[in-house]
Structure 1
Amino acid sequence: MSDSSWMTNQPRVSPVSRRDALRYAAAATALTGLGAAAARAGAPTASAAAPTLIDFAMRQIPARDILAAGHAGVINYVSTSRPGSSMGAKPITLPYAQSLAAAGLAIVSNYQYGKPGGTAPSDFTRGYAGGVADARTAWQLHTAAGGGQSAPIFFSVDDDIDRDTWNNVALQWFRGINSVLGVQRTGIYGGIRPCQWATTDGVIGRSRSPGHVWAWQTRSWSGGQIYPAAVLYQRVVSTASNPGPVVGGLEVDVSDALAQDVGQWNLHP
């Protein structure tokens, strides 16, 4: 895969200096190298040496700061802020997406509105009809920001659920999402077990990287295990007791790319 495969297809919005252009090329090359190495090794193991994507919600982090920190892209929200909150990075906007693309950064879409104990309930509890509504919202915000027409959106199961809850609650939500987006454009964020269940039940699509599906696994609730079919592994989860690295003045979560195709917009126009 060429180096440019990790760069989004958005127009440039400002001139880029020669120094920055060299940094951008290096970031793209690093990502491509990981994909090739992972394919050769067939290894799902996350590593600090893997190209990394960050996720954050409080505000937009300038592309220059993301590059300076050595990250290759972002996983950004295609959902709005919960009642009572105002998160500047939710949802991703077209101007911000264009600035990331101009810097050669990869963009992946994620939907999360509710949260356990938050001012809105966890999205996966909203049933089939809720899945339909959430998928429509996600797709509208994704496309408004310039997201690829065949790119996946990862929907969050941000809780430690058991199999009964998956079968009787979360699975119905995903079926509703599938009815709008289709299976191939649906992904999951969650611990290792929901990622496995979503694959087994056929509600998430497949990456172009052989053996991988649209599973963005978090280390939370995963018992130190990594799902071999995942495309992303959230290795750093920023909390008050264990803050993540600071990028552009904001603490962020960090995910390792486990495949060449992690759902970045430009590979799925």
Structure 2
Amino acid sequence: MFDTPGATGPRPPRVVSRRDALRYAGAASALAGLGAAAAGATAATASAAAPTLIDFAMRQIPAQDIRAAGHSGVINYVSTSRPGSSFGAKPITLPYARSLNAAGLVIVSNYQYGKPGGTAPSDFTRGYAGGISDARTAWQLHTAAGGGQSAPIFFSVDDDIDRDTWNSLALQWFRGINAVLGVQRTGIYAGINPCQWAAADGVIGNSRTPGRVWAWQTRSWSKGQIYPAAVLYQRIVSTATNPGPVVGGLEVDVNDVLAQDCGQWNLHP
């Protein structure tokens, strides 16, 4: 269905200062420790292979319930609810973020307002001007909740798009986002092909983990493949016919952490 992407290798990583390297090592160690705890947990939701982060929208899940389920943190929205909906976890709030931090959980930011067939169109259809507007909203909500000044925000392409749609719509949207945030603070959530196209077209930044870029890949539309440069992989996508695990009384999506630097706030203050 998709055209074969061109060269998809990540751009050379930026030089990291000694101070940043020490901060990275500390934060990465904390994430690895949580991953070890998850591996030893009896909860069925924990992945023994890698630390896991959960994402959800319906309401805020208490930090203690996330820890008890063996997860290392959350990917939370820095966007508001679409017209006619009221999602309690959109956007993340400062008190909730503080509760997660206090419990030793990490936070990664994601922006998604519209969706296919929803009351607002898919965000990527809004072009360059829409990208500018969405990036401004995302950054305001991210910083209001205490998000790191250098942390990336993952912007969602929650649809099965082809290369023509990428080139004519989504790419222009990402360039609008870049105009506000810069490439290094821009990430993508999508199936494997848009993740590769975003890296090849230079509109997403680099993780501090060598060879990794700000790509949060969903298993949807990925045909069983995992992009080697992705930092996160959405392994469980909760649907009405295939519900995800329950954490704090709410069905959630589960994401494997593929890099020590997956864009978590505490690593990018």
TM-score, L = length of structure 1? 0.86
In 1, the alpha carbon distance for the partners of 2:28 and 2:37 equals 11
Q: Is the 8 A contact 1:127 1:176 kept in 2?
A: yes
Match in the other structure for 1:156: 156
Matches within 5 A, 1:152-191: 152-191=152-191
User: SS of the counterpart of 1:113?
Assistant: coil
Which residue identity lines up with residue 71 of structure 1 in the other structure?
A: H
User: SS of the counterpart of 2:166?
Assistant: helix
Stretches of structure 2 that go unaligned for 5 or more consecutive residues are: 1-21, 39-46
Matches within 5 A, 1:102-121: 102-121=102-121
Shift of the alpha carbon at 1:4? 4.6
- 1:12-69 deviation line (CA, Å, top 9, x unaligned): xxxxxxxxxxxxx7x75144899xxxxxxxxxxxx65210000000000000000000
Shift of the alpha carbon at 1:3? 7.6
How many residues are matched?
A: 239
> Is structure 2 residue 144 aligned with structure 1 residue 144?
yes
In 1, the alpha carbon distance for the partners of 2:134 and 2:221 equals 24
- 1:117-152 deviation line (CA, Å, top 9, x unaligned): 000000000000000000000000000000000000
Stretches of structure 1 that go unaligned for 5 or more consecutive residues are: 8-24, 35-46
> Is structure 2 residue 27 aligned with structure 1 residue 5?
yes
Name segments (4+ residues, structure 1) moved above 6 Å.
none
Match in the other structure for 1:19: none
In 2, the alpha carbon distance for the partners of 1:267 and 1:149 equals 10
Q: Is the 8 A contact 1:215 1:231 kept in 2?
A: yes
Match in the other structure for 2:205: 205
Match in the other structure for 2:98: 98
In 2, the alpha carbon distance for the partners of 1:196 and 1:140 equals 28
Q: Is the 8 A contact 1:6 1:32 kept in 2?
A: no
Match in the other structure for 1:226: 226
In 1, the alpha carbon distance for the partners of 2:97 and 2:158 equals 25
Match in the other structure for 2:11: none
1:98–1:51: structure 2 CA closer, same or farther, 3 Å change rule? Answer: same
In 2, the alpha carbon distance for the partners of 1:230 and 1:130 equals 25
In 2, the alpha carbon distance for the partners of 1:216 and 1:32 equals 22
1:6–1:98: structure 2 CA closer, same or farther, 3 Å change rule? Answer: farther
In 1, the alpha carbon distance for the partners of 2:36 and 2:197 equals 29
In 2, the alpha carbon distance for the partners of 1:252 and 1:65 equals 12
Which residue identity lines up with residue 57 of structure 1 in the other structure?
A: A
Question: Structure 1 vs Structure 2: percent identity of aligned residues?
Answer: 84
Q: Is the 8 A contact 2:32 2:51 kept in 1?
A: no
In 1, the alpha carbon distance for the partners of 2:172 and 2:32 equals 38
Q: Is the 8 A contact 2:32 2:260 kept in 1?
A: no
Q: Is the 8 A contact 1:6 1:31 kept in 2?
A: no
In 2, the alpha carbon distance for the partners of 1:227 and 1:250 equals 29
1:6–1:247: structure 2 CA closer, same or farther, 3 Å change rule? Answer: farther
- 1:68-125 deviation line (CA, Å, top 9, x unaligned): 0000000000000000000000000000000000000010000000000000000000
Which residue identity lines up with residue 95 of structure 2 in the other structure?
A: P
User: SS of the counterpart of 1:234?
Assistant: strand
